[in-house]
Amino acid sequence: MIKFELLFHALNQNKVRYLLVGGIAVNLYGIERATADIDIIVDLEDANLQRFIDAVKEMGFKPKVPVMIEDFIKKEKRDEWVKEKGMMVFSLLDPKDPFFLLDVFVEMPFNFDKVYKERRKMKAGKITISVIPLQMLIEMKDKANRPQDIADTFYLKKIKDEWKDES
């Protein structure tokens, strides 16, 4: 298994409720483009966050910034990071492979339960990955409005239109 698959295998084994977003989600929807990291949104409920921390610690991930990984569970810490540092994602890296970067959203951009129920379960190798629904990915990319996100939105909308034509 490649490291990407190992990560999602660990999350699934630990019953972590997550959604893949960002460039890899764009790839899984059929658009080829390079990305430097893996972006996920994790259900911010305490027990789920503990399962997430257990899974990534087991894989050897460490925070990119000098904080304790367990601090991510504490809402007041996440709020402080957002307010004082402008943090949008909590970045984790594998010290043995520092180019393998996992970015986890610090704040919930939507109703997680609702979107999680609508998630797409996609295969990557032998692993099933919980991926944000196409329309929500388009909305997130529209909101971010960076050059790569604008390009992603253009192609994601084409995919969505093609799917409509097939139904």
pLDDT by residue (tens digit) across 62-103?
999 999 999 999 999 999 999 999 999 999 999 888 889 999
Average pLDDT of the chain to the nearest whole number: 94
- What class does CATH assign to 1-157? alpha beta
* Residue 167 pLDDT exceeds 70: no
User: Could you tell me the pTM of the whole model?
Assistant: 0.93
Q: Where are the domains of the chain?
A: 1-157
What is the DSSP code (8-state) at residue 71? Answer: G
Q: Which residue has the tokens 């971010």?
A: 144
pLDDT for res 162: 85
CA distance to 53, 75, 83, 105, 164, per residue, from 159 (Å): 34, 37, 37, 25, 9
pLDDT for res 1: 58
Give 3-37 pLDDT, tens digit per residue.
Answer: 889 999 999 999 999 999 999 999 999 999 988 89
Give 22-31 pLDDT, tens digit per residue.
Answer: 999 999 999 9
How confident is residue 42, by pLDDT bands cut at 50, 70 and 90? Answer: very high
Give 119-149 pLDDT, tens digit per residue.
Answer: 999 998 899 999 999 999 999 999 988 989 8
Q: Say if residues 100 and 93 touch (Cβ distance below 8 Å).
A: yes
Average pLDDT over residues 45-74: 97
Type and span of the H or E element at 91:
strand 89-94
Q: What percent of the chain has pLDDT over 90?
A: 82
pLDDT for res 73: 97
